[in-house]
Structures are given as structure tokens and as C-alpha cells.
Amino acid sequence: MLYECAIIGGGPAGLSAALVLGRARRKTVVFDDDHARNRVTREAHGFLTRDGTKPSELRRLARKEIAEYPSVEFQNEKIVSIERLDRAHYELKTASGKVFRSVKILLANGLRDEQPNIPGIEHFYGTSLFSCPYCDGWELRDRPLAVIADKNVFKLAAEVYTWSRDVIVFTNGEGQLTAEERKKLNAKEIRIVDDIIARLEGENGQLQSIRLEDGTLIDRTGGFVSPLWSHPNHFADALGCERNQYGGILTDEYGRTTVWNVYAAGDVSHIVPSQLIIAAGTGSAAAIGMNGDLTNEFFDTI
């Protein structure tokens, strides 16, 4: 079967695009292997009318709404390759060996987080340690917080200071702060710890303290880390899509990449700022671009 639109990714960007395309009566398939970036997060924040909802519940509600539009189908499959057959057709292969064909492709598969190599961090990430203060700062307000980062640590610490005046910056031996940045942090009484972190300690996902390599124990009840991110697959590079200044896929305002019939939305293109509601908005815009281009191509054919 030939689809008009194939969406890679079932997060807020992909689901928002699917809703718009379903309402436009476009034959669409959504591939979702249920490996969302925010799967460890208990609550999603900043999403209007759904503040505090579990990410899994947001996905469930979205799928329920999209199910009202018969032209959209879901495949719980992982795409492993996308091959361009000609100017107007792409072939997609899944890990299970299935083959699908589509006119247009939307890359909406997000990013992959790689946490700092600190023992114990996996027990607290998504519960009392987070990556985005705009998403989770309110829940940690006025608590003694840690900022753990080796890159962009000054920016992250300055943002976290909005929610708490009790902030300690841990560079974990990397020392990625300039003399001027250190001066600014010290002026706001933000302590800087350059020692290497031995491990994080706490119970039931709640951080209680940070133990340094020399044995020093520093009480902290939450905080923010700056994870490294990477693209979860090679599709953008394999298809020849250009990157933007942040390393995301370069697009125009309607999600069009530099490759014909390939679109991108969500964190995979709009890396910063990274918010669910922003990802959903870019997904909607990309779907409008896809539908508009399909319409124009139909009327250009005589």
C-alpha cells in the first residue's frame, strides 16, 4: 500500500501531525516503537490543559482522538531504513522485516539523552533529577538543588536560580566555567564544587546527598543535569538533510527539510527550547506543510 504520509515517531510532534493529517483525510501511517525520550518522567508540565499529566496518558489521549480519523493507522514498529525510490516515493523497512511505501516522510523521532557518567544517576533521573527547569522547576522550588553539568553549566545554573536560591553547581572535575562566569555565580552566592562526584545517594528516586570522591557528603534534595543528546538513528544523514546551528535537522517554518518530500518536527529539528507543547506545535506546522504540498502537487498535475 502506498501512503501519502509516513510519520516516524509517536511523541507530541508525530501525534500532532497525525491529527492534522487525519483531519485533512490524508492516508497516513505512524510508526511508534514506544521508546519515548520522556518515558522515565512521571509528569509532563507546561502543556496547556494537561499540566501534570503523565506522558503515557498524553499519548493515550492523543491516540484515542486520532482514532476518530480512519485515514490514519498506527504501526508499533521500529523503522530501520528509509530508501528513496524516486522523486515521489520512499520505501521504509521495519525491524521485523515489513516494507511500507510513502510519498512524504516526517521525521519526528526526537532525541536520545545520554546522562553524565555518575554512579547512581539512573535511580534519580526523572524523579528528583531533571534536565529542564522549565518543565520541572516548579516542583523543586525553594529546595536545596544541585546543578550537574560539564557544558552550558552557567546557563543552566542561572535558570535554576529562578526557582531556588539554594543552588550548588557541580562541574564534576570538568571545570567548564570561565573566570567571569565564576565571578557572576559567586556574586549570587551560588557555590561551585569542582571535585569529582563519587556517587549520588538517596531512596525511592529521591536524591538526598551527593558524595564526592574525597568522601565529602553534600546534602541536596533535587536538581538538574545537562545530558548529552544524540539522534536516535541515521535517517537524516542517510537522506542528506542539512543541520541547523544546534545540530538539529534544518527546516523551514512548515517543517520542510533540504530534501524534497522529507519533513522534520519536534526535538529532532527544534532542539532548543525543548518542550512538549513546542514539539506539538512544530508537528502541526509540518503536517500543514505536507498537506499543502500534496495539494499543490495535485493541482500542478494536468
Which of 225, 241, 261 terminates a domain? The answer is: 225
pLDDT of residue 150: 74
- Residue 230 cell numbers, joined: 544524540
Answer yes or no: do 97 and 240 share one domain.
yes
Answer yes or no: do 187 and 201 share one domain.
yes
**How many structural domains are present in the chain?**
2
Answer yes or no: do 70 and 208 share one domain.
no
Which of 225, 243, 267 terminates a domain? The answer is: 225
pLDDT at 38 exceeding the cut of 70? no
Phi, psi dihedrals of residue 300, rounded to the nearest 5°: -80, -10
Answer yes or no: do 139 and 187 share one domain.
yes
pLDDT confidence band for 87 (50 / 70 / 90): confident
pLDDT of residue 37: 56
Answer yes or no: do 142 and 89 share one domain.
no
Answer yes or no: do 86 and 33 share one domain.
yes
CATH number for position 205: 3.50.50.60
Which residue range is the domain that position 20 belongs to? 2-111+231-300
Please say whether the dihedral angle defined by the alpha carbons of residues 223, 36, 118 and 245, taken in this order, is positive or negative. negative
Answer yes or no: do 165 and 262 share one domain.
no
State the Cα–Cα distance between residues 146 and 255, nearest whole angstrom.
Answer: 36
Q: Which tens digits make up the pLDDT trace of 207-221? A: 999 999 999 999 999
Three-class DSSP category at 10: coil
Q: Which tens digits make up the pLDDT trace of 52-72? A: 888 889 999 999 999 999 999
Answer yes or no: do 107 and 239 share one domain.
yes
pLDDT confidence band for 125 (50 / 70 / 90): very high
Going by their DSSP bridges, the two strands 28-31 and 2-8 should be labelled as parallel
Going by their DSSP bridges, the two strands 99-107 and 2-8 should be labelled as parallel
Q: Residue with C-alpha cell 530508501?
A: 83
pLDDT at 33 exceeding the cut of 90? no
Nearest C-alpha neighbor of 115 from the set 248, 259, 226: 226
pLDDT confidence band for 288 (50 / 70 / 90): very high
Answer yes or no: do 148 and 172 share one domain.
yes
Answer yes or no: do 66 and 194 share one domain.
no
pLDDT at 182 exceeding the cut of 90? yes
pLDDT of residue 148: 94
Answer yes or no: do 139 and 193 share one domain.
yes
Q: Which contiguous run of DSSP H or E holds residue 18?
A: helix 12-23
Which amino acid would we find at residue 98? K
Which of 187, 206, 225 terminates a domain? The answer is: 225
Strands (E) located in the chain: 2-8, 28-31, 72-75, 79-86, 89-94, 99-107, 112-114, 129-130, 145-148, 167-170, 191-193, 197-203, 206-212, 217-219, 222-225, 228-230, 262-264
Answer yes or no: do 178 and 269 share one domain.
no
